[in-house]
Each structure stands twice: as structure tokens, then as C-alpha cells.
């Protein structure tokens, strides 16, 4: 299994979420004072991790992750692309993402906004 940064953050978030809702079990194990601290810390860290995950989960990062997958030769973008995808398709540093030849001029205009 290949774990990327977003997957690792999601797994950490899941573990923290379990801690946040395990009040009864944690109280039995650690007592009420320590449990309150564990739940508070887990909640704060969980909110931070989820915020970072959202920031990393952009359309641009999704396209770049798909392009990096083995087996992907080229992604061709047409005139239905949004500005983010059009910018990637017209970026010369992204050789595996491009425009359909007949749509190139329009995709360039979309990329400009």
C-alpha cells in the first residue's frame, strides 16, 4: 500500500476522532482528569490536521497526483475545463497534461480568466 501525505493525515485524523469519542473507555483506563486532557488535545490536533488536509486537497494537487500515477500517459483538457485545470493544461512544466489541439486557444483564454 502506498501512503501519501493526505492518506497519512486522514489516518491520524481517524485515530484522533476515535480518541475524542472514547470518553467512557479512556475514563476507565486513565481517570477523569487525564481523560479530559487527552480528549482536549486530540480535538485540537484533529482540527489542525483536518485544516491542513483541506488546504492540501485542491483540484490542482488532485490533477498532479493523477498525472504522477503509473499508467497515465497524458491528460487532454477541453473547453469545459475550469480555470485551475486550464492553467495546468497550459503550463509547459506539466508535460503529461495538455489541451486537445482544436481547443488550445479557448483553454488558454480560460486559463487567463
Query: Which tens digit of pLDDT belongs to each residue from 3-19?
Result: 888 889 999 999 999 99
Distance in angstroms (rounded) separating the CA atoms of residues 55 and 57: 6
Interior CA angle at 65 toward 63 and 67, to 5°?
Answer: 70
Is this prediction's pTM over 0.85?
no
Residue 12: the pLDDT is 95
pLDDT in tens, 49-59: 999 999 888 88
Nearest to 65 by CA among 11, 1, 4: 4
Amino acid at each position: 500500500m502506498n501512503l501519501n501525505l493526505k492518506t497519512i493525515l486522514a489516518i491520524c485524523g481517524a485515530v484522533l476522532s476515535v480518541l475524542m469519542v472514547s470518553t467512557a473507555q479512556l475514563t476507565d483506563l486513565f481517570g477523569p482528569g487525564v481523560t479530559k486532557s487527552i480528549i482536549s488535545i486530540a480535538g485540537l490536533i484533529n482540527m489542525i490536521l483536518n485544516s491542513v488536509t483541506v488546504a492540501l486537497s485542491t483540484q490542482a494537487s488532485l490533477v498532479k497526483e493523477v498525472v504522477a500515477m503509473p499508467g497515465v500517459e497524458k491528460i487532454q483538457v477541453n473547453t469545459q475545463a475550469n480555470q485551475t485545470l486550464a492553467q495546468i493544461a497550459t503550463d509547459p512544466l506539466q508535460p503529461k497534461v495538455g489541451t486537445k489541439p482544436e481547443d488550445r486557444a479557448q483553454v488558454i483564454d480560460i486559463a487567463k480568466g
